[in-house]
Structure 1
Amino acid sequence: MKGVSLAPGDYIHFKSQVPLHKIPIGTKQWRYYDFGPKVVSPLICLPGIAGTADIYYKQIMSLSMKGYRVISVDIPQVWNHQEWIQSFEKFLDVINVHHIHLYGTSLGGFLAQLFAQHRPRRVKSLILSNAFLETRSFAAAMPWAPIVGWSPSFLLKRYVLTGIRDGPHEPFIADSVDFVVSQVETLSRDDLASRLTLTVDTATVEPLLLSDSFITIMDTNNYSAIPQQLKDQLSERYPGARRAYLKTGGDFPFLSRPDEVNLHLQLHLRQVGVEARPDLVQSIPKGGTGGSPSKESDKKKDPDDQPKDNGGNPESTSEESQLPPSSEIHSLDDQLLSDARICSMGHEDAIILMQSQYTVVNRILQSACELFIFSLLPIYVESSYVTSNNVWKFRQLM
């Protein structure tokens, strides 16, 4: 596939600048990105079944440079909805975050609503994209749902990938599909099994205490893997929610239409009272925007009430490198244009190198397979000869 071996140029730039954090909390391993001024109430991004924390890299790069704090997480290996709620709450406690704004797509949107239902004091607003209210229809569509936890990896990946629409796409949508497919390949069997279990485990989101005015529903008008009936149920549940419709974008508009999605996210945050701090973008110290708090920051109060410029995690396995400071804060239109230019920032050589390496690996694997087949050929011929000879002798005796 086009995007499996060739990472987009802006993604390479993102990986070189934003640290990835991995922290164990109980028996769960949390993998996440945390970028932006710590004084700002964070926007936490929750992916769907096929996503990882990396799929929101365009939102992290753009919104953090505007003065927002963005946290993107992987869904850990949890096997029921109550375990998800408890595990996510422990994660927020460890990184010292109390009040959050959740942006969830597909399964991530469903889990965001469940958390808002059971922990209403922590969730200040919701942005739901291609989300749903209940999982009964998914359970009914999967006859082997009871044994999903014991299914082999290839079957789980095949099921997830068949849910992604195949066929001719616009170039940006095709690139987004390829990138998500490459992320699916990084998921383990247990990762996929736990996420599918959350999808088919029968549950329904009850009415929320959160006002509809603090909810934005963002959907694409062309198509998505979520049935339209489930989307209509979501709209009926939150009649007073703000609507943000994208003309195109497919299942992954945050990758295929990042400028539009980022604009809607920024408008939502402004409407719910989140004040960006672009003045702190320059003052963020190198290695100082990690998500998990240091020993000193553990003693501080809620980051929503007290500014913190340094939230680096000494236990993080990533390098503590940061975005270069911005010399000026551009207007929204200028920023969108600069975001679009990141894709072409001098990564042609890296892409060509990766493509050549991928070709070499393919040739080596193909040669190995051919050598293995040819090595078995003499054994097969000899076995056939011995078998036919013994049959002939047996017939002579008869």
Structure 2
Amino acid sequence: MTTTLPSLFAETRRRYPARTLDLDGTPWTVRDTGGTGVPLLLLPGALGTGDVFYRVLDALGGERRLVSVTFPAIGDARRLARGVTALVDALGCPVVDLLGTSLGGYVAQLVALEAPARLRTLVLANTFYDPGLQQSRWPPAADYARTPPADVLAAARAQLQNGPAPTPEHAELKAVMLELVGTEQDADMVKAMRLAVLTAQPLPAVPLAAEAVALIDDDEDPVIAGPTREQMRQRYAGSRHVRIPGGGHYPANLQPGRYQAAIRELLPR
């Protein structure tokens, strides 16, 4: 199946231009749809940038303020979380809604642990609180740290190139990821995100009320293993939970309508 870059991807990026904020000497890139009210910050996973949320920005950017975030080359999840909190300050927001997917969901939990008063709603999508199973798929962090960034990038792009594309949605996602990984997300950034996963530690439960937390997942997620999904479900059993069949690890892209409906359902207007 031919992988072509969707026109909506470029259109959304033109509509909401990227801007870079300097936070303690580190550049953080965001796309901000503007508007009033409590913004929703969107944190991506380890592979790709905040632009993976282009369909969310396109569909919901006219309804509420959305801010998609691209992580800088910081290979430490706690430092990333502190950066997200500094970003909230830089945006002039006393409180935000926060959605994190995969590594972004782990970082979002750290933000909730360190600055719970800054969050109104926390949405944890296709993510983990115990990184053990994710780490078992990769070399130890010390070994990985010695790998040249160019080799890390080449392996990541080969994985994307060789990934299956059984549906048009999968083919579109592949095209978008190949556009982002190696360009906006350079080799140093790709390596840093992997190191952020490999050096992560199990987290305690976030100090938020159950009704302020929500989960999004899919039983067929090929990245977040079944035991890890079950850990999250048990920990946040009293919170709202949306399963998105067919969403895999990227429901925002593979099942965009259901993902957008989940956001509307889970977040206050």
Q: Match of 1:216?
A: 214
Q: In structure 1, which of residues 167, 170, 181 is the aligned counterpart of residue 167 of structure 2?
A: 170
RMSD of aligned alpha carbons: 2.0
- Deviation of 1:145 after TM superposition, in Å, equals 2.1
Question: Following the alignment from structure 1 to structure 2, what is the Cα–Cα distance between the partners of residues 163 and 219?
Answer: 22
Q: Match of 2:179?
A: 182
Q: Match of 1:135?
A: 131
| Residues 216 and 242, structure 1, Cα contact 8 Å, conserved in 2 | yes
Q: In structure 2, which of residues 69, 77, 89 is the aligned counterpart of residue 93 of structure 1?
A: 89
Cα-to-partner distance string for 1:155-194 (whole Å, 9 max, x where unaligned): 3124445766823512212221331232112222220121
Q: Match of 2:198?
A: 200
Question: Following the alignment from structure 2 to structure 1, what is the Cα–Cα distance between the partners of residues 252 and 135?
Answer: 27
Residues 1:243 and 2:237 are matched in the alignment: no
| Residues 41 and 96, structure 2, Cα contact 8 Å, conserved in 1 | yes
Q: Match of 1:153?
A: 149
Question: Following the alignment from structure 2 to structure 1, what is the Cα–Cα distance between the partners of residues 102 and 159?
Answer: 12
Q: In structure 2, which of residues 104, 107, 118 is the aligned counterpart of residue 108 of structure 1?
A: 104
- Deviation of 1:142 after TM superposition, in Å, equals 2.1
Q: Match of 1:227?
A: 225
- Deviation of 1:98 after TM superposition, in Å, equals 2.0
Change (3 A) 1:43 1:139: same
Change (3 A) 1:109 1:159: farther
- Deviation of 1:264 after TM superposition, in Å, equals 0.6
SS in 2 for 1:141: coil
Quick one: which amino acid aligns to residue 47 of structure 2? A
Quick one: which amino acid aligns to residue 250 of structure 1? G
TM-score, normalised relative to structure 1:
0.63
SS in 2 for 1:216: strand
Q: Match of 2:58?
A: 61
Quick one: which amino acid aligns to residue 68 of structure 2? S
Cα-to-partner distance string for 1:254-302 (whole Å, 9 max, x where unaligned): 1121111011101111xxxx33xxxxxxxxxxxxxxxxxxxxxxxxxxx
Q: Structure 1 stretch 150-159 or stretch 161-170: which is displaced more?
A: 161-170
Quick one: which amino acid aligns to residue 203 of structure 1? Q
Q: Match of 1:24?
A: 22
| Residues 19 and 33, structure 1, Cα contact 8 Å, conserved in 2 | yes
> How many residue pairs end up in the alignment?
267
- Deviation of 1:62 after TM superposition, in Å, equals 1.2
SS in 1 for 2:220: coil
1:185-334 correspondence to structure 2 within 5 Å: 185-186=182-183, 187-269=185-267, 274-275=268-269
SS in 2 for 1:87: helix
- Deviation of 1:249 after TM superposition, in Å, equals 2.1
Change (3 A) 1:155 1:233: same
Cα-to-partner distance string for 1:58-96 (whole Å, 9 max, x where unaligned): 111211222x11000001222323322322222221121
Percent same amino acid among aligned pairs? 22
Cα-to-partner distance string for 1:326-377 (whole Å, 9 max, x where unaligned): xxxxxxxxxxxxxxxxxxxxxxxxxxxxxxxxxxxxxxxxxxxxxxxxxxxx
Q: Match of 2:71?
A: 75
| Residues 49 and 160, structure 1, Cα contact 8 Å, conserved in 2 | no
SS in 1 for 2:41: strand
Cα-to-partner distance string for 1:203-247 (whole Å, 9 max, x where unaligned): 112122111222221112333211111111000100011121112
| Residues 44 and 50, structure 2, Cα contact 8 Å, conserved in 1 | yes
TM-score, normalised relative to structure 2:
0.91
Runs of 5+ consecutive residues of structure 1 not aligned to the other structure = 276-398
Q: Structure 1 stretch 213-222 or stretch 240-249: which is displaced more?
A: 213-222
Question: Following the alignment from structure 1 to structure 2, what is the Cα–Cα distance between the partners of residues 207 and 231?
Answer: 15
User: Taking CA–CA contacts closer than 8 Å with sequence separation of 6 or more, which of the two structures ends up with the larger relative contact order?
Assistant: 1
Q: Give the strand-richer structure, 1 or 2.
A: 2
User: Higher Cα Rg: structure 1 or 2?
Assistant: 1
